[in-house]
């Protein structure tokens, strides 16, 4: 089987990326490194296709470009990665074994934990959001309500394009939610591999300037998401308003309301 690994970088050298170091380093596997950093980096690794994008076009563009390359090169599988996921030693072997043992499955994903020991993915999604879990299932799992996050998702390239690829306007937050919503129209289940990744997911950021910028992006991406039914409008309004209120209360700062009103409406 052929797998193309696409890793999205931002102000991080490929060789310093947790995903590269834990999963891909010294492996004979093709890597599509999409670098959204302001300046390019020198990459002298023989199995790496390096693409620099100073516009920081986002995850959707990166994944779609990699999927185009995979299709042209007749590569059957696309493994989506970000720079901040730490994989256990035997993860790649578990991916290939899962594919071999489940020939009818077209989407695979690992389990993700964060630093507090809770599971981030795959988790049930309601109203465009999910809660951290103490446990997550293994094996064949229904895509409704469960959904995986982007990093670590292994998807059949034909399925990727039948689903229409990623929505490029939704360049960061909600990108995985929108993609899985489209995939759900084609398949009803995926396979959760019995391997646990550690995801860099900070919930303790205290820099208000950084929090404002991230909330602005959050609202921009929510606004860009396609509404396919009336309740989508309600869900996105709910999740953005909830985030806004949480930031106001936690930081005792009303300026998040102004950002919300200017960015989302």
C-alpha distance from residue 15 to each of 24, 25, 83, 157 (Å): 10, 8, 10, 26
Contact call for residues 191 and 107 (beta carbons, < 8 A): yes
| Domain 3-199, architecture per CATH | Alpha-Beta Complex (3.90)
> Residue 87 CB: number of other CB atoms within 10 A?
24
Q: Token digits for 245?
A: 């209120």
Per the listing, tokens 């959904």 go with 147
What is the chain's pLDDT, residue by residue, as a tens digit (265 residues)?
799 999 999 999 999 999 999 999 999 999 999 999 999 999 999 899 999 999 999 999 999 999 999 999 999 999 999 999 999 999 999 999 999 999 999 999 999 999 889 999 999 999 999 999 999 999 999 999 999 999 999 999 999 999 999 999 999 999 999 999 999 999 999 999 999 999 987 666 789 999 999 999 999 999 999 999 999 999 999 999 999 999 999 999 999 999 999 999 9
Of residues 122, 95, 123, the one with CA closest to residue 111:
122
Domain ranges of the chain: 3-199, 208-264
Contact call for residues 78 and 166 (beta carbons, < 8 A): no
CA atoms within 13 A on the CB side of 206: 0
pTM of the model: 0.96
């Amino acid at each position: 089987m052929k797998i193309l690994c696409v890793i999205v970088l931002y102000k991080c050298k490929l060789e310093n990326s947790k995903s590269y170091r834990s999963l891909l380093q010294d492996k004979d596997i093709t890597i599509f490194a999409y670098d959204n950093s302001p300046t390019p980096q020198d990459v002298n690794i023989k199995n790496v296709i390096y693409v620099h994008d100073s516009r920081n076009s986002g995850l959707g563009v990166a994944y779609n470009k990699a999927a185009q390359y995979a299709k042209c090169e007749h590569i059957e599988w696309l493994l989506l990665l970000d720079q901040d996921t730490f994989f256990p030693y035997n993860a790649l072997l578990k991916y290939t074994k899962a594919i071999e043992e489940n020939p009818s499955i077209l989407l695979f994903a690992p389990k993700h934990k964060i630093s507090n020991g809770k599971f981030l993915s795959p988790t049930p999604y309601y109203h465009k959001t999910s809660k951290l879990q103490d446990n997550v299932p293994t094996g064949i799992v229904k895509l409704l309500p469960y959904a995986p996050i982007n990093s670590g998702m292994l998807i059949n390239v034909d399925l990727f394009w039948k689903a229409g690829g990623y929505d490029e306007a939704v360049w960061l937050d909600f990108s995985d939610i929108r993609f899985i919503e489209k995939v759900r129209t084609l398949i009803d289940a995926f396979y959760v591999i019995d391997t646990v990744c550690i995801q860099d997911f900070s919930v303790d950021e205290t820099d208000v300037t950084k929090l404002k910028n991230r909330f602005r992006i959050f609202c921009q991406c929510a606004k860009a998401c396609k509404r396919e039914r009336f309740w989508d409008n309600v869900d996105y309004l709910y999740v953005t308003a909830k985030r806004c209120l949480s930031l106001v209360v936690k930081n005792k700062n009303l300026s998040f309301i102004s950002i919300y009103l200017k960015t989302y409406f």
